[in-house]
């Protein structure tokens, strides 16, 4: 019932800003039970938690990325977004959005000149 879909650029240049959008159907991102989350998986590596936004609008981020990460939402569109500033090649990964145990299909992001 709940579906999430990531969208955004597949290629970003180093030092630029990555912006990804997660469009949610079947549930409201304003629900007080929501933990609307971004994770990523670099090639050949494990999953890395990036951060999340709660139904209240409060956010939480992994310390390693906090300084250049921002998660926001648009409740009228039932979307939440990931902004990652000053990207480097190590940010290359498949990025996923999800809530609890429901996840999108992922979107490949490559950071390269």
Query: Could you read off the pLDDT of 28-45 as tens digits, one per residue?
Result: 999 999 999 999 999 999
Given the structure tokens 């996840």, which residue do they identify?
Answer: 103
Over residues 60-80, the pLDDT tens digits come to 999 999 999 999 999 999 999
Place of tokens 């800003």: 17
The pLDDT of residue 48 is 98
pLDDT of residue 96: 98
Three-state DSSP class for 13?
Answer: coil
Look at residue 34 in the predicted model and tell me its pLDDT: 94
Mean pLDDT of the chain: 97
Percent of the chain surpassing pLDDT 90: 99
d(CA 28, CA 16): 31
Helices and strands, number each (H, E), in the chain: 0, 11
pLDDT for 5: 98
């Amino acid at each position: 019932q709940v579906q999430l879909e990531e969208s955004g650029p597949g290629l970003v240049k180093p030092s630029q800003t990555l912006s990804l959008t997660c469009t949610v159907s079947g549930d409201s991102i304003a629900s007080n039970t929501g933990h609307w989350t971004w994770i990523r998986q670099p090639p050949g590596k494990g999953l890395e938690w990036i951060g999340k936004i709660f139904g209240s609008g409060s956010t939480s981020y992994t310390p390693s990325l906090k300084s250049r990460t921002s998660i926001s939402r648009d409740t009228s569109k039932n979307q939440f977004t990931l902004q990652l500033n000053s990207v480097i090649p190590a940010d290359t990964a498949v990025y996923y959005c999800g809530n609890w145990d429901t996840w999108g299909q992922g979107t490949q992001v490559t950071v390269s000149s």
